[in-house]
């Protein structure tokens, strides 16, 4: 009797184990997220990420920076101050444990940003029609490349995402390469996977 009971328990456990293996694992391909720290500085960003494989994802991020973040986004170059107003950042991520698990991540991204440069020689035309140079503010678009590292936690049936990330980028212009690094894509992010 004891053997029969033990056999029945083992048989039922084996059946449940086989049923658990047959159930397909839920795989989420899309993720949207935002940085929790940026609203403190009157700024906002939005990230969209699409998983392309088990460890690889591509995405696009958009950020608009407010006046309160200017002390964090100001660069100096040739005695001029550069302030980033907004930027678009395409990125690629490599997840070491896979994009369906809690994982360390390595990110490579590009940056196309709208910048105000204060202290630059700016050409304007006076009332007589002559070109006049004066020190002022010039707005232009510039690009850059960067790298980031982070860790992603998956919560609530792997639908809620919590990330800690640190990133650095350098900027370039058509005439020169600015070798100063700026903190970007850094902070604590919360997101949703679907």
For 8-49, what is each residue's pLDDT tens digit?
Answer: 566 656 655 554 444 446 789 999 999 998 998 889 999 999
CB 44 within 8 A of CB 29: no
pLDDT at position 177: 59
In-domain check, residue 140: yes
188 has which bridge partners? 164
CB 156 within 8 A of CB 191: no
Q: What range does the domain containing 159 cover?
A: 30-193
Is the entire prediction scored with pTM above 0.75? yes
pLDDT at position 175: 56
Greater pLDDT, 147 or 3: 147
Burial 10-28 (b: 16+ CB within 10 A, else e): eeeeeeeeeeeeeeeeeeb
pLDDT at position 21: 46
Residues 6 or more apart whose CB falls under 8 angstroms from that of 14 comprise: none
Provide the token pair at 26. Answer: 């839920």
In-domain check, residue 55: yes
In-domain check, residue 2: no
Residues 6 or more apart whose CB falls under 8 angstroms from that of 19 comprise: none
**CATH number of the domain where residue 163 is located:** 2.40.160.20
In-domain check, residue 6: no
In-domain check, residue 21: no
Lowest mean pLDDT among 18-27, 35-44, 50-59, 120-129: 18-27
CB 132 within 8 A of CB 125: yes
In-domain check, residue 124: yes
Structurally, the chain folds into a number of domains equal to 1
In-domain check, residue 167: yes
In-domain check, residue 7: no
């Amino acid at each position: 009797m004891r053997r029969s009971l033990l056999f029945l328990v083992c048989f039922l456990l084996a059946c449940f184990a086989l049923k658990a293996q047959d159930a397909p694992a839920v795989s989420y391909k899309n993720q949207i997220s935002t940085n929790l720290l940026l609203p403190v500085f009157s700024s906002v960003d939005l990230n969209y990420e699409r998983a392309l494989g088990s460890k690889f994802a591509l995405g696009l991020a958009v950020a608009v920076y407010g006046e309160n973040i200017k002390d964090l986004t100001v660069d100096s170059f040739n005695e001029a101050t550069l302030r980033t107003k907004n930027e678009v950042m395409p990125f690629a991520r490599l997840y070491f444990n896979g994009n369906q698990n809690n994982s360390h991540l390595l990110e490579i991204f590009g940056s196309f940003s709208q910048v105000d440069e204060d202290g630059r020689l700016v050409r304007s035309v006076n009332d007589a029609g002559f070109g006049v140079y004066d020190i002022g503010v010039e707005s232009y678009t510039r690009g850059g490349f960067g790298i980031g590292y982070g860790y992603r936690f998956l919560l609530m049936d792997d639908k809620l995402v919590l990330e800690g990330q640190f990133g650095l980028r350098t900027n370039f212009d058509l005439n020169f390469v600015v070798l100063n690094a700026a903190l970007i894509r850094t902070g604590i992010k919360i997101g949703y996977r679907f």
